[in-house]
Amino acid sequence: MERSEVLQTEINLVLEQCLGLLPTVYSRTNKMCLQGPVKVANKWIQTKVQLSLLANSENINIQTQHQHRLKIKKISEISKLMENISGENQRTQDGIICNIDLWANHNRNVYTEIASLWQSEDYDIFLNKNCTYMRFEKFAYDKQHYLELALPSIQILKHSLPSCIDLQLLVKELTGLKPLLQKFLVFLEELKPFYENFTDIDELCQVVQPSKPTTKENWRMFVLKERVFLKIEFKDPFAPLSTMVVNVVGPTEKVGPLRHIFDDGLRDWDPNLNVHKNLLRIFDLCFFPMPSAIDGEPPPIFCHICCCHNSELGDIPIVSCDNANCSLIFHTSCLKKWFTTLKESKVFLHVAFGFCPFCRTKISTTFKEMLQ
């Protein structure tokens, strides 16, 4: 076997199997070129390796996206070079210093992982033409969920889990596409109680906020009775019931008694029932108000300050005047701005006090909780 063939075999073994580079390409000038992404210190670097197959050749040229051009004399030094290629290279007069075992640092190509995941029935995979973006979608548990990644860095771009979950932080210790996907599937399983508690509320209540609930929100606000709303928030979606916060929103004279009813009813909370059914029991109701199936969506309610249905923040009018004879209703954000113009307005224990802009009746509300 000629020296060039031995060199070719040795190069294939090191660069393709160990570093996960793409298959070799041979030119008529007895040179071989391998290129592909290599993960170094949790960063992906697009790498191009050019080698001469001539028997008297000693140097191997390495080129990265950072435009580093280096030379090494032995094939076994390539893996050491890759571990130091990002950032500032540590050099001496003899070249790069590194004491890393070639075989102990095996970096699999992310595209090889994608190929192995492609045929799963638990989700669909979308990959763009340039192979720089991928999306897992239509998961078996819930078709609404998705996970978008940049390639080959495997950086999380978007996901369908609740916005209050820092997914990037939870998976920062993971390396590789498969572990990341498996962790995401575990999270979906652990979040089932969270999503299931919202299912009945979304289907059987008149939800006013968010206007179009998705998998991203960890709260709902729906109609309890005329001019009175319930806001439910799960601070930690992984432990929904233990972190649940319920607020009653509406005129003061109506809110006070309803809050007492809720506080007393918590003692009889049935852990075998979901949140929707427990709330019905607490307020002694057969059902919460629902939009009419015949009329479709209810007619829009306009804020009596900005005269719009949706505010700049996207919310709808829900704050009523405490005067039973005053039928006006306002956006929370608009009323907060109005209160800032009043000399008499004040805040005590997160509760803001002011006056109706029309009948001058006192209004109190918790802007902090309602605007979060």
- Does residue 104 lie in a domain region? no
Domain boundary among 258, 283, 308: 283
Instruction: Let me know if residue 97 belongs to a domain.
Output: no
Identify the three-state secondary structure at position 187. helix
pLDDT tops 70 at residue 88:
no
More confidently predicted of 90 and 366: 366
Asked if residue 339 and residue 275 are part of one domain, the reply reads no
Q: Answer whether residue 349 is part of any domain.
A: yes
Q: How far apart are the first and last CA of the chain?
A: 72
Q: For the chain, what percentages of helix, strand and coil (3-state, to nearest 5) are there?
A: 30, 25, 45
CB burial class (10 A; 0-12, 13-18, 19+) of residue 367?
A: middle
CATH number at residue 179: 3.30.457.30
Same domain (yes/no): 203, 149: no
- Residues 116, 61 share a domain: no
Q: Is residue 291 part of a domain?
A: no
User: pLDDT-derived band of residue 288, with 50, 70 and 90 as boundaries?
Assistant: very high
Whether the Cβ atoms of residue 326 and residue 361 lie closer than 8 Å to each other: yes
CA 244 to CA 242: how far, in whole Å? 6
Whether 289 is covered by a domain: the verdict is no
200 and 279 assigned to the same domain: yes
Please give the pLDDT value at position 148. 96
pLDDT > 80? residue 258: yes
- Considering the domain architecture, whether residues 157 and 218 belong to the same structural domain is answered as no
Asked if residue 263 is part of any domain, the answer here is: yes
237 in the same domain as 172: no
Domain check: are 306 and 342 in the same one?
yes
Tokens 């829900």, residue? 318
Q: What percent of the chain has pLDDT over 90?
A: 34
Residue 234, exposed/middle/buried by CB under 10 A (0-12, 13-18, 19+)?
A: buried
- pTM: predicted TM-score of the whole model, two decimal places: 0.64
- Domain containing 323: what range? 300-371
102-149 residue pLDDT tens: 323 333 467 778 878 887 889 999 988 888 899 999 998 788 999 999
Among 109-113, 213-217, 249-253, top mean pLDDT goes to 213-217
Domain count within the chain? 4
182 and 218 both lie in a single domain:
no
User: Is 56 domain-assigned?
Assistant: yes
- Tell me, what CATH number does 331's domain have? 3.30.40.10
Q: What is the CATH number of the domain that holds 225?
A: 3.10.110.20
Residue 103 lies in a domain: no
Q: Are residues 198 and 279 in the same domain?
A: yes
Residue, of 183 and 94, whose pLDDT is higher = 183
The contacts of residue 234 (CB under 8 Å, 6+ apart) are 194, 197, 218, 219, 240, 243, 244, 245
Residues 135 and 150 in one domain: yes
Asked if 158 and 213 sit in the same domain, the reply is no
Look at 49 and 14; give whichever has higher pLDDT: 49
Q: Are residues 354 and 306 in the same domain?
A: yes
* Residue 265 pLDDT: 93
Q: How confident is the model at residue 55 (pLDDT cuts 50, 70, 90)?
A: very low
